[in-house]
Amino acid sequence: MKLSRLVPFAAALLLAIASAEAAAKRILVITQSKGFRHGPVTRPAPDQLCLVEQQMKELGEKSGIFTTDFSQDAIAVLTKENLAKYDALFFYTTGSLLPAGDPREALLDFVKQGKGFIGTHSATDTFKDFKGYTSFINGSFNGHPWGSGGTYGFVSHEPKHPVVAMLGSEFQWKDEIYQYSDYDPKSVRVLYSLDMVKSSPKRPYLVPVCWVREFGAGRLFYTNLGHNDATWKDAKFHEHLLAGIKWATKLIDGPATPNPDVQQAEHNRSVVAFAASIAGKDANAYLAKAKSNAAWIADVTAAANAASKAQDAVGNIRDPDAKKTKPEELDAQKAAAKAKRAEMQTKFEEAKKQLVVALEK
């Protein structure tokens, strides 16, 4: 090739590279813990990145989609002026990171005005005292009956959605799974949920795990996965996370219209899974009826809720702590706990009978 042709070619190549770099999204990654500190966000030393930060940095570099800045000091970086530099925020956080007032509102305004928000795992265990945030992310941590040592089943409600297409219509994953308070099914599009039929312990309610929403002119992507180190090192999770980031930053599209009817159907499956487990039956024998008989599923739901409440009442009774109880009172308190447990167990057995009756109608 002649030199005269090489010069414009090289110039065009440099321009293309510069344009690609300029187009890369800039993400501010917050991994601060003002409550429980998870292992993946624990920095080995102040000048070293934690696992989540390492993986986000590598994911951005390998994909060329985004660059990252990191902070564990929300007050210093979550200001209106500093946020103006970024296209998206990433949270793996706990606790109340900002004082009430303008700093918190700046966070929500950032998304409303067209930017992206990516939340993983304990992003829903953040700002419990800030209703604006819990409404925005659409949930507040309310326990994790599904602990980090278990492997659970998940069902995808939209296997062709680009954010979850790599996971298939159902999959298994080992991680810690939250349940939520302050959750509104009419606010988000749930992409996958805990499959109660294929998971234990069974509970008679929907447990959403990943969802998306449009918030003002911006977008939110959240996944509850991420408690375990192994999740952050998993190539399939990287693919899922990258798709969520691309969706949140508007590099790809996919529907975000809330799907409460889909969530209700999964809720009903969870009710049947719980009820069948209590009755010692196969849940699959009842799932079709849950879809076709509204009166039946309403009765089973009411009975399942009563049985679940009675079951919890038994589990909530604790023997006295020998270290904190006066020796002369210990035997009496143990006897009282035993008697109360027997009383609650009797009520649970009756609730189980009623549940079986409702299931078999």
- Angle, nearest 10°, between helix axes 235-248 and 51-63? 70
For 3-258, the fitting CATH number among 3.90.700.10, 3.40.50.300, 3.10.20.90, 3.40.50.880 is 3.40.50.880
> Rg (Cα) of the chain, in Å, rounded?
24
Q: For residue range 206-229, what is the model confidence (pLDDT) as tens digits?
A: 999 999 999 999 999 999 999 999
Report the distance separating Cα 191 and Cα 213, nearest Å.
11
CB 164 within 8 A of CB 191: yes
Distance CA 21, CA 331 (A): 72
CATH 3.40.50.880 positions along the chain are: 3-258
Give me 105's structure tokens.
Answer: 């509102």
CA distance 58 to 2: 39
Regions in the chain scoring below 50 on pLDDT: 1, 3, 9-21
Distance of alpha carbon 137 from alpha carbon 167, whole angstroms: 23
Residue-wise pLDDT tens digits, 52-100: 999 999 999 999 999 999 999 999 999 999 999 999 999 999 999 999 9
Q: How far apart are CA 215 and CA 119, in angstroms?
A: 14
| 8 A C-beta contact, residue 162 and residue 240 | no
| Amino acid 5: pLDDT | 54
- Pairing verdict, β 189-194 and 208-215: antiparallel
* pLDDT of the residue at 23: 79
Entry pTM: 0.91
**DSSP per position, 71-90:** ES-HHHH-SHHHHTT-SEEE
Between CA 183 and CA 311 the distance in angstroms is 23
Tokens of 49: 């990145």
